[in-house]
Structure 1
Amino acid sequence: MVSNPRRRTALVDAAIEVLAREGARGLTFRAVDSEAGVPAGTASNYFTSRDDLLTQAGGRIRVRMTPDPAEVARALGSAPPRRELVAELMRWLVRRMAEERTGYLAMLELRLEATRRPALRSELTRTVRADLDENVRVHLDAGLPGDADTVLVLYLAMTGLLLEQLTLPGMLSDGEVDELVETVVDRVLPRR
């Protein structure tokens, strides 16, 4: 197996582009090589199998979608830990995911593929659960209103909203998205 970290990252990023554009069925070593602009056969020198490529794409998406801890600290430090801050954080999440649309769409493709690939399902379940647990920890440590169930309900609601927004752009206007975020937060953390 070839060990050039920059090339590996470029190949995995190319795989993410292919996943987002063509779906899991379009993800081949040849498609990755073409997307990355490297000679045919390069990807097969870096990944032991298609499953390996899918798993590494999932890991890279997680890296790309995870905000910088300093960014999170700034967002959390910007206002008192009240319901309004939770709403602002949810709007920030929607903006971030819209900016990383390719990564989010590729993750949706990986989730669908995971229904047919037990090893991928196991890995995605582990990492998504770890991310959710980290979100709960950050929420509670920041003293934001609500508990672990609050974070879970917000996560599930925002996942649905993002699915709608990123797979059917234009179905909801930006104003409707902002209003829906506010509605979700109001239902989960009512104003007192």
Structure 2
Amino acid sequence: MNPDRRDRLRDAAVEVLAEAGGRGLTHRAVDAAAEVPAGTAKNYFPTRDALLRAVAERCVEHYRATSEQLAASGPPPGERAGLEALLVSLLENVAGPGRSRLLAYLELQAEAARRPWLSEALDPIAVSDFGIFELAQGASGLPVTPERSAVVTLVLHAAIPHLLARGPRTLAASGLDDPARFVHTLLDVVYPERPTGS
């Protein structure tokens, strides 16, 4: 099978899942989104479970690519400001370039609650986040511990659905209407001890 066409179908499936939700993810909808002949998606991914697995794999691939970029542009050692800028850019990405991928990811998580095999496919994303964010917090000079790092990671994860839903009162109540202030406050709460030079 053509790997370029396979990737085109997987990217189209991500968009369909993001726009139409789990019920809207059909072979026919993916064919239309990818602008390929009817029956193409079914030829590559014969069942709906195969289609869901393909979307999950694509989301993991995109996540790993993004993680590598973030690791390469991580905060300079000893600079909390660099960490804050990194976390703010992540939150802003949710409503920007990453919106479709994250919407699809949330839909996949809902499906995974009923399909254990799908949960296993998605697990590397969340697991990687805990390690990546712990390293970033340590590199910024904060007195990081696994527990503190986990709190920061979980708070950022919890912010994603609200940023995607864009409810103005919810964003205001949570402080997410100002991502820079939100991140600064989060780190102040988790790390009340300010490192020298921050």
Q: Using structure 1 for the length normalisation, give the TM-score.
A: 0.85
Percent identity of paired positions between Structure 1 and Structure 2: 35
Kindly indicate whether the alpha-carbon contact (under 8 Å) linking 1:19 and 1:26 is maintained by their aligned counterparts in 2.
yes
Once residues 34 and 43 of structure 1 are traced to their aligned partners in structure 2, the CA distance between those partners, rounded to angstroms, is: 10
Kindly indicate whether the alpha-carbon contact (under 8 Å) linking 1:90 and 1:181 is maintained by their aligned counterparts in 2.
yes
Once residues 169 and 37 of structure 1 are traced to their aligned partners in structure 2, the CA distance between those partners, rounded to angstroms, is: 33
Gaps of 5+ in 1: none
Q: Which of 72, 85, 89 is 1:88 aligned to?
A: 85
Amino acid at match of 2:186: V
Kindly indicate whether the alpha-carbon contact (under 8 Å) linking 1:33 and 1:40 is maintained by their aligned counterparts in 2.
yes
Q: Secondary structure at the match of 1:76?
A: coil
**1:1-192 correspondence runs (5 A):** 3-66=1-64, 67=66, 69-77=68-76, 80-98=77-95, 99-125=97-123, 127-136=124-133, 138-139=135-136, 142=139, 144-145=141-142, 146-168=144-166, 170-171=168-169, 172=171, 176-192=178-194
Task: State the Cα RMSD in Å.
Answer: 2.3
Once residues 84 and 69 of structure 2 are traced to their aligned partners in structure 1, the CA distance between those partners, rounded to angstroms, is: 19
Q: How far 1:19 sits from its partner (Å)?
A: 0.6
Kindly indicate whether the alpha-carbon contact (under 8 Å) linking 2:12 and 2:33 is maintained by their aligned counterparts in 1.
yes
Q: Secondary structure at the match of 1:156?
A: helix
Q: Secondary structure at the match of 1:160?
A: helix
